[in-house]
Amino acid sequence: METMKYIFVTGGVISGLGKGITASSIGRLLKSRGLEVTAIKIDPYLNIDAGTMNPFEHGEVYVLDDGGEVDLDLGNYERFLDISLGSDHNITTGKVYRTVIEKERSGEYLGKTVQIIPHITNEIKRRIMTVAEASGADVCIVELGGTVGDIESMPFLEAVRQMNTEMGRGQNCIFVHTTLVPMLGTVGEQKTKPTQHSVKELRSIGIQPDVIVARACEPLEYSIKRKISLFCDVPLEAVVSAPDAKSIYEVPIVLEEQGLTDYILKRLSIDAQKKDLSAWREYLDRILYPSNTVRVAIVGKYTHLADSYLSHLEAFHHAGAELGTKIECRFFDSEKVEKDGISQELACCNAILIPGGFGSRGIEGKIMTARLARERGIPYLGVCLGFQIATIEIARDVLGMKGAHTTELDPNTPYPVVDLLPEQREVKDMGGSMRLGSQRVLVKQGSKAAALYGTTEIGERHRHRYEVNPDFIEKLESAGWEFTGRSEDGVKMEIGELEGHPYFVACQFHPEFKSRPKKPSPLHLGLIKAALEYKQAREDRHVL
Ligand code: GLN
């Protein structure tokens, strides 16, 4: 296709409407018609990237192949579209202003007054178009973070408004506006006023939406669709309802059934024939109708916000679909475990995950949990910090190294089994300064990891500063903690597997970031397989 087509997805009324899921679902639908689709996420905050942001507030920091630390929505795009994106697919106010200010300092604006319009808006347009064109895709979905009306998003909305005008108004760009249609009382009336107001807001900045996707508890009533169509000046067929779904993987089907894909293709004059959602439907069925259930304990620090571990939850979905198993994730606050000890509920789970993390809060609770898994034969997966925790636990309890620790949390430990990477010693900046992104890992033939990956050379994404201290490798391995994955130079330990345990596996990298529907993270899949066996064995012995 000659001209790139753009779909701008905005949000109104409130944040957290699932705009990202709507946008990724549209992408998936276009892909099902044989189109190449890419995606850009705009975050109107001043941070350069999400690397320094607290998962408590924003959910997990998602890591890309190139080491970009980005908003978790990029994860949705990668999973829904089965593509790998680069960090330039996440545009933030910070990145845009930094470029403009650097240009100004180097005199590139030739003495002109540098302003939001046109300098900031031009930089936004340049970034969007460069990334979209470099991707080689036919369609680029651009999701604008935040809610229409926020001061922060103004320059971005103005920039995409200009893009639409410059590209032949409505021919190559369309605007999809996601809103909320609340219902008063449980059987009350669906209310369109908030949608009307947010469309008015959008129009006041010169943008007329082409499609309205209305989130609601229930499907929109016909009369409500008509009302939105009339008041917001959008054709009836372009008012789409997005009721609460049982699974996010259901959303593309719900949108397709209302004719959204056909409408978008018509509006953008794209000729696409292929229509194949059968694989997606079959996948959804596997998620919705499982034949078994396992309970996985996630023990961490950010347990009150499920989004902090979003990619793990998704990886478990992928593994569960593969095995026809529903995975119930239970969150346990490691600080509570540390204070109150291991609860019955935790001890009764069929598998344990200790995900990545930073800081000392609840660390002893995590070590206690790893010990529980090791001693009782409960399947365990440790990721990043969870790998370091397993190493510390084994050093302390199997090798008798009292006070063994990571120097991140105890600089004076007598046994620094986890220590700084040599190249990290001098680093002072917090942003983008860890060992980041995809790195090759060599996996030992005959190991569990090699069997699960089906190969001995893998590439996985990283985000850490500390690693297993080479001085302790021999000792740790003599205790049965075998390092079956190592970096290419052989210096960094990447995977640990405990001898004699059904599944006590941990890794320095983050396998959750590359997990996709139908291509689940091998180590999460291994954990769930082991959990099923563990559960079965206990049931056979009549233990719950
Ligand atoms: N805090 C640890 C490190 O920097 C682990 C990081 C993580 O779990 N992502 O090495």
Nearest-angstrom CA–CA distance, 134 and 438: 21
Decide if 275 is inside a domain.
yes
> What are the residue numbers of the active site?
384, 510, 512
Nearest CA residue ID for atom 5, ligand 1: 385
Nearest CA residue ID for atom 1, ligand 1: 358
Are residues 278 and 295 located together in one domain of the fold?
A: no
Q: Considering 253, 282, 311, which residue would you say is the last residue of a domain?
A: 282
The single-letter code of the amino acid at 464 is: H
Decide if 34 is inside a domain.
yes
Which residues does ligand 1 sit against, CB inside 6 Å? Answer: 356-358, 384-385, 408, 463-466
- Closest atom of ligand 1 to CA, residue 510: 9
Q: Considering 282, 313, 334, which residue would you say is the last residue of a domain?
A: 282
Decide if 469 is inside a domain.
yes
**Percentages (nearest 5) of helix, strand, coil residues in the chain:** 40, 20, 35
- Closest atom of ligand 1 to CA, residue 466: 10
- Closest atom of ligand 1 to CA, residue 467: 10
- Closest atom of ligand 1 to CA, residue 359: 1
Cα 84 to middle of ligand 1, angstroms: 23
Query: According to the model, what pLDDT value does residue 55 have?
Result: 64
Q: What angle do CA 124, 71, 487 make, to 5 degrees?
A: 115
Cα 226 to middle of ligand 1, angstroms: 52
As for how many domains the chain has, the answer is: 2
Cα 408 to middle of ligand 1, angstroms: 9
- Closest atom of ligand 1 to CA, residue 358: 1
Nearest-angstrom CA–CA distance, 379 and 219: 41
Are residues 207 and 348 located together in one domain of the fold?
A: no
Are residues 276 and 305 located together in one domain of the fold?
A: no
Q: Which of 464, 487, 493 to mutate to test the pocket of ligand 1 (most atoms within 8 A of CB)?
A: 464
Are residues 357 and 245 located together in one domain of the fold?
A: no
Decide if 16 is inside a domain.
yes
Nearest CA residue ID for atom 6, ligand 1: 464
Are residues 330 and 224 located together in one domain of the fold?
A: no
Are residues 107 and 27 located together in one domain of the fold?
A: yes
Query: According to the model, what pLDDT value does residue 432 have?
Result: 57
CA distances (Å), origin 244, targets 328, 336, 535: 19, 33, 32
Query: According to the model, what pLDDT value does residue 392 have?
Result: 98
Cα 512 to middle of ligand 1, angstroms: 15
Cα 43 to middle of ligand 1, angstroms: 25
Q: Which of 423, 466, 469, 487 to mutate to test the pocket of ligand 1 (most atoms within 8 A of CB)?
A: 466
Q: Which of 384, 423, 427, 436 to mutate to test the pocket of ligand 1 (most atoms within 8 A of CB)?
A: 384
Query: According to the model, what pLDDT value does residue 275 have?
Result: 78
Query: According to the model, what pLDDT value does residue 430 have?
Result: 59
Q: Nearest CA to 176 among 168, 166, 165, 164?
A: 164
CA distances (Å), origin 461, targets 342, 439, 440, 496: 31, 6, 9, 17
Q: List the structure tokens of 179.
A: 């809103």
Give every CB contact of residue 157 below 8 A, 6+ residues apart in sequence: 10, 144, 148, 202, 205, 207
Are residues 237 and 127 located together in one domain of the fold?
A: yes
The single-letter DSSP state of residue 296 is: E
Its domain, for residue 263, covers 5-282
Decide if 493 is inside a domain.
yes
Q: Which of 366, 387, 388, 439 to mutate to test the pocket of ligand 1 (most atoms within 8 A of CB)?
A: 388
Nearest-angstrom CA–CA distance, 509 and 511: 6
Are residues 384 and 530 located together in one domain of the fold?
A: yes
Are residues 198 and 345 located together in one domain of the fold?
A: no
Decide if 428 is inside a domain.
no
Residue whose structure tokens are 């006590």: 504
Cα 382 to middle of ligand 1, angstroms: 12
Look up the CATH number of the domain holding residue 257.
3.40.50.300
Cα 37 to middle of ligand 1, angstroms: 33
Look up the CATH number of the domain holding residue 371.
3.40.50.880
Query: According to the model, what pLDDT value does residue 513 have?
Result: 97
Nearest CA residue ID for atom 9, ligand 1: 356
Are residues 233 and 130 located together in one domain of the fold?
A: yes
Query: According to the model, what pLDDT value does residue 544 have?
Result: 59
Cα 307 to middle of ligand 1, angstroms: 18
The helix or strand, by DSSP H or E, that contains position 203, with its residue range, turns out to be: helix 193-204
Are residues 253 and 354 located together in one domain of the fold?
A: no
Run means of pLDDT, 10 residues per run, the chain, 544 residues: 89 85 95 94 87 73 93 92 94 96 92 93 97 95 92 95 93 95 81 92 95 92 94 95 90 94 94 82 88 94 80 95 94 94 94 93 95 97 97 97 95 95 66 84 97 97 95 96 95 96 98 96 98 92 70
Are residues 18 and 132 located together in one domain of the fold?
A: yes
Q: Considering 220, 250, 282, which residue would you say is the last residue of a domain?
A: 282
- Closest atom of ligand 1 to CA, residue 418: 10
